[in-house]
């Protein structure tokens, strides 16, 4: 009996240690998701662009984007380096405070007011909202994107190329030249 307890206890310690190590390893290979409040507060101290992934629990394409696009290591690396990343459930019923403004759940629209504001009243899921370093809107982009198309968008906006050229010109020239090493990994 004593030996069985010892083996069980040793096994539990082994699995806890292995899980802790794997958890730490996984954190370096996953998107570092924040709440919108955390992203706002961080951007006030260390300015950085923010992406808000606006989703709902029932949205099938949101889940596909999570499983395919947001799991690509090239995407993960670029996002963690260049953006604060926010996951926002549009149907969150709890109050959300951002920059001293309190957003409540709008029962008539079935969405939180912060999601309604970010989506400019066009409730479509998933929608990826891009905010600049000062938390000002760059652009909301509705729909699912595979990793190849999403990489083009996040680099276009993340690298401020949108200030110099249009998206089609970027995709055909600048993107192909600047990010050619990333292309096979997408």
> Taking the CB of residue 32, how many other CB atoms lie within 10 A of it?
12
Q: What is the extent of the structural domain holding 68?
A: 30-185
Q: How many domains does the chain have?
A: 1
Side-chain-side CA neighbours of 34 within 13 Å: the count stands at 16
Q: If DSSP codes are grouped into helix, strand and coil, which group holds residue 119?
A: coil
For the stretch 100-138, pLDDT in tens is 999 999 999 999 999 999 999 999 999 999 999 999 999
For the stretch 135-179, pLDDT in tens is 999 999 999 999 999 999 999 999 999 999 999 999 999 999 999
Q: What is the DSSP string of 88-118?
A: EETT--S-EEETTEEE-EETTTTEEHHHHHH
In a domain, 9, yes or no: no
Read off the CATH number of the domain in which 78 is found: 3.40.30.10
In a domain, 22, yes or no: no
What H or E segment, with its residue span, contains residue 18?
helix 2-28
In a domain, 125, yes or no: yes
In a domain, 11, yes or no: no
In a domain, 15, yes or no: no
């Amino acid at each position: 009996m004593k030996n069985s307890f010892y083996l069980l206890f040793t096994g539990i310690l082994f699995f806890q240690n292995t899980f802790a190590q794997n958890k730490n390893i996984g954190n370096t290979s996953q998107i570092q998701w924040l709440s919108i409040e955390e992203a706002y507060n961080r951007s006030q101290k260390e300015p950085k662009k923010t992406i808000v992934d606006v989703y709902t629990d029932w949205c099938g394409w949101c889940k596909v984007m999570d499983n395919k696009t947001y799991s690509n290591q090239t995407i993960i690396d670029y996002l963690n380096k260049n953006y604060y990343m926010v996951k926002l459930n549009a149907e969150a019923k709890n109050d959300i405070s951002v920059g001293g403004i309190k957003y409540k759940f709008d029962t008539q629209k079935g969405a939180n007011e912060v999601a309604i504001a970010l989506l400019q009243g066009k409730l479509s899921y998933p929608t990826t909202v891009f905010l600049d370093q000062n938390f000002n809107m760059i652009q909301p982009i509705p729909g699912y994107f595979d990793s190849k198309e999403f990489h083009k968008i996040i680099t276009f906006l993340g690298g401020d190329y949108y200030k110099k050229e249009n998206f089609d010109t970027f995709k055909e020239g600048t993107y192909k030249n600047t990010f050619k090493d990333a292309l096979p990994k997408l």
